[in-house]
Structure 1
Amino acid sequence: MNLSYEVISAEEIENCRDLCNELMAFQKSRAYIRPELFDSMNFETRMVPSIHSALHNYIVVVKDGRQIVGYVYSNISPKEAYSNEFATFFDLSSVLRPNVGCLSQFYIKEEYRKYGVGTKLLNMSMTWLKQFDEIEDYFVFVSNGNNEALEFYQRKGFSVSHDILDGFITVLRRNK
């Protein structure tokens, strides 16, 4: 393995298309509550709109040589962006500031897990998120059935806040 980490701009998100779609398929394969909700989720419906609605975006890709094998997408967004026709992701009144930080998408190809890649990506994202002094609340949304991700985030200081959509998504929160 010859891993490198590269921050890319929002204009370069096309580089994440295949892995984003792989993430949606992975989440569906693990889901035991309403897996059919993933049928309409893909790069075009998840990543592109999120990037366009965010105030600030941070995308890191992990490469093994020239091949992208993982990525993390974090953003700073108005808290109202997390209340839409799909769901209200958290009690907006519980967030005192107008904007929140979110670890929005996080995926590493299976053969690259357990080598510290996830920890490195999370640390890079949290360092980026913490530079915004006005942000006090950080969120991660974990799909049902993805227990490894849930445990990973808990080990890294996030706490389960609540479930939404009858357990389809577990909301994790961490304060500054």
Structure 2
Amino acid sequence: MNLIYEVISEEKIEYCRDLCNELMAFQKSKAHITPELFDSMNFDTRLVPSVKNAIHNYIVIVKDADKIVGYVYANISPKEVYSNSFATFFDLSSVEKQNVGCLSQFYIKEKYRKYGVGSILFKMSMNWLKQFDDVDDYFIYVSNGNEDALEFYKRKGFTVSHDILDGFITVLRSNQEFK
């Protein structure tokens, strides 16, 4: 295994299409609360709009030779982006600054898990997010049933803030240093 981590530009998000769609299928397979909500979630409805609505985007792909085996997507967005027709993801008044940081999507093919890939991608994302002085609050949204992801983020310094959509999504939050 010869893994290469590559930061890509927004113009190359198409590289993430297959893995993003795999992520949505994975989340649906884990979900025990309204899994049918994932039926309309895919690259075009999740990643593309998120990139367009963000002020700053950070996308890292992981390659094994020439095959993309994982990716992470983080962004800096106006806090108002997180109150929309789908849900209000957090109490906007609880965020003092205008912008928030979000680790928005994170997926590694199963064969490549447990080799530290997730920790590397997490650290790269958090280092990128921390460079913005206009952000103090960081969020991660974990779909129901994905206990491994939930525990991973808790080990990294995030705490559960609340659930939304009747438990469909768990909101994790941090305004501290990450591990």
TM-score range, shorter chain: over 0.9
1:19-46 C-alpha deviation (Å, 9 max, x unpaired): 0000000000000000000000000000
Pairing 1:101–2:101 present: yes
Which ranges of 4 or more aligned residues in structure 1 deviate by more than 6 Å? none
1:121-164 C-alpha deviation (Å, 9 max, x unpaired): 00000000000011000000000000000000000000000000
Unaligned stretches of 5+ in structure 2? none
Cα-Cα RMSD = 0.4
Look up the SS of the partner of 2:135 in the other structure: coil
Pairing 1:11–2:31 present: no
1:145 alignment counterpart = 145
2:120 alignment counterpart = 120
TM-score, scaled to structure 2: 0.98
**CA separation in 2, counterparts of 1:121 and 1:93?**
30
1:89-121 C-alpha deviation (Å, 9 max, x unpaired): 000000000000000000000010000000000
**CA separation in 1, counterparts of 2:115 and 2:82?**
32
Pairing 1:26–2:37 present: no
1:136 alignment counterpart = 136
Aligned residues: 176
Unaligned stretches of 5+ in structure 1? none
**CA separation in 2, counterparts of 1:104 and 1:131?**
17
**CA separation in 2, counterparts of 1:134 and 1:29?**
37
**CA separation in 2, counterparts of 1:58 and 1:136?**
17
1:41-88 C-alpha deviation (Å, 9 max, x unpaired): 000000000000000000000000000000000000000000000000
Look up the SS of the partner of 2:106 in the other structure: strand
- AA aligned to 1:26 is F
**CA separation in 2, counterparts of 1:137 and 1:115?**
29
Look up the SS of the partner of 1:44 in the other structure: helix
- AA aligned to 2:84 is N
Look up the SS of the partner of 1:68 in the other structure: strand
Give the percent of matched residue pairs that are identical in Structure 1 and Structure 2: 77
Look up the SS of the partner of 2:149 in the other structure: helix
After superposition, where does 1:69-108 map in structure 2 within 5 Å? 69-108=69-108
